[in-house]
Homo-oligomer: A and B are copies of this chain.
Amino acid sequence: MSDPSALQALFYPRSVAVVGASKKRTKIGYEITKNLRRFSGTVYAVTTSKGQVDGLPTYPSVADIPGDVDLAVLAIPAPQVAGVLEECGKKGVRAAVIISAGFSEAGNAEGERQLTALAARYDMALVGPNTVGIANTDVDLNATFLVQPTKGGIAFLTQSGALGAAVMYKTVYEDIGFSKFASLGNMAGATFGDLLDYLAEDEQTTSIALYIEGVQDGRAFLKAARACSKRKPVIALKSGSSQAGKRAATSHTGSLAGDDAIYDAAFRQAGIIRARTIDDMLDMAKAFSQPRPGGGSVAILTNAGGPGILAADACEHEGLTVAPLAEETKEALRGVLPPFASVTNPIDTIAQAGYEEYAACMRILQKDPHIDAILAVIVVPTFTRIGYSTHAQALLDSWKRKKTLVTCFMSGEVTNTSVELMKLNGIPAYPSPERAARALGALHTYERWYHEHHDSNTD
């Protein structure tokens, strides 16, 4: 188990040493050093080559570094790792990220056990080996050889480095923000459980997303997840749910993927929300920027009939209720909407309704005590005088930040500005009604679990 203060040094180091720093663009050590350029703490380049690396003075070894080192990032051949790690321990380094591959994943279990032992002996937090690195956007620390992650409230932990890389590139493109990132690799040191304990306390983290292939100590993992879920939501994408997937997981990380139904039940008990895909995981994780709904009653507010029906279907399939509205609410909606609008639920303002009508509906729905959440579904008002971002603006101006609000803008490029407006204001926006409904379902599922486990003292 990793020492919490060592994990603090992992994510908030005052100084970082890159062992295997390089001037060569094709080397991982080059990328890592370059990525640390924005970090405000001290960065030391350790390399046997002469001269500077990326403007930094170089040192032939960790021992030669004049100041203290909190975090060491090792990108050197596997046979050299244990020696350098021991040197780190002796120097008082508190945390190490071992990028290097060539350990248990390559049949070298003995070499990996040595790393575990060294980390324990020197009380160091150890991430890896065989990882793409870690990042903490709170202090612009990017100790990976990937892109600069976007800042946000999601902490993401991944057992697969390549999947972590894919997610990093994807989220930068889609403007989804992370608080912390860690690629756990072979987990010779820090486990999911250790990091969940740490992230439960992390103020920058609103929700936690996990990609899991298999956990060794299931009991410890579930205990940590359960404790963490009482603080903030944990969402997990667990692969190996099929026979073929299980076989592949065993061959990939040597993980025991285990019986999927058992994982499913255990996850539910621990409050872990299970994702089906990477998008699903991110969709749900980003929903938690919202006030959580007190119950499962959703009002769907749309400017288009068809998409409203799809949203109603999706909400019901996610266990939410699209209840008919109170007579009072319907009356109020009738007062502000055009004649052929529908004031049942979904509320279909029809395409002709613009800023005033949409904002008025929002105000009315927020007053109804029977409604827990609002799902706004907007199709580009192409055949009216209404601007493409009018509805987004109406939402922003009328939303009082009390009830849950989740949005869906459906028409590709022309709704980019609306989506941007939502993001800037911390409102989750999705490209389809089904994805929006699913995210809302996750908020509801979590809220229910949370209340059950806080209201009773049986846990």
A99 → B minimal CB distance (Å): 9
The answer to whether A162 touches B340 (Cβ under 8 A) is no
Counting every copy of the chain, the complex holds 2
A378 → B minimal CB distance (Å): 9
- What 0/1 pattern do residues 290 to 310 of A give for CB contact below 8 A with B? 000000000000011111111
Residues of B within 8 A of A253 (CB): 305
The answer to whether B305 touches A252 (Cβ under 8 A) is yes
- Given contacts A242-B316, A245-B316, A313-B242, whether A306 and B414 have CB atoms under 8 Å apart is no
Residues of B within 8 A of A321 (CB): 244
Pick from A197-205, A272-280, A354-362 the stretch touching chain B. Answer: A272-280
Measured CA separation A319–B290 after assembly (Å):
37
The answer to whether B434 touches A309 (Cβ under 8 A) is no
Measured CA separation A315–B241 after assembly (Å):
11
> Which of A171, A174, A243, A303 is the most central at the interface, judged by chain B CB atoms within 10 Å of its CB?
A243
Chain A residues numbered 238-260 whose CB sits less than 8 Å from any CB in chain B? 239-245, 247-249, 251-253
- Given contacts A166-B304, A306-B160, whether A244 and B312 have CB atoms under 8 Å apart is yes
The answer to whether B383 touches A245 (Cβ under 8 A) is no
Say yes or no for A410: interface residue by CB 8 A criterion: yes
Measured CA separation A410–B168 after assembly (Å):
10
Interfacial residues, chain A to chain B (CB-CB below 8 A): 26, 28, 31, 105-106, 132, 145-146, 158-160, 162-163, 165-166, 169-174, 211, 213, 237, 239-245, 247-249, 251-253, 276-279, 303-310, 312-313, 315-317, 321-322, 324, 339-340, 342, 344-346, 348, 351, 379-380, 382-383, 385, 410-415, 431-432, 434
- Given contacts A306-B239, A346-B248, whether A432 and B277 have CB atoms under 8 Å apart is yes
Residues of B within 8 A of A310 (CB): 163, 237, 239, 245, 277-278
Measured CA separation A410–B211 after assembly (Å):
15
Measured CA separation A249–B306 after assembly (Å):
8
In the complex, the chain B residue whose C-beta lies closest to that of A410 is B166
In the complex, the chain B residue whose C-beta lies closest to that of A346 is B248
Measured CA separation A431–B173 after assembly (Å):
13
- Given contacts A312-B242, A383-B132, whether A304 and B344 have CB atoms under 8 Å apart is no
In the complex, the chain B residue whose C-beta lies closest to that of A247 is B344
In the complex, the chain B residue whose C-beta lies closest to that of A348 is B252
Measured CA separation A159–B412 after assembly (Å):
20
- Given contacts A244-B315, A248-B312, A434-B276, whether A305 and B166 have CB atoms under 8 Å apart is no
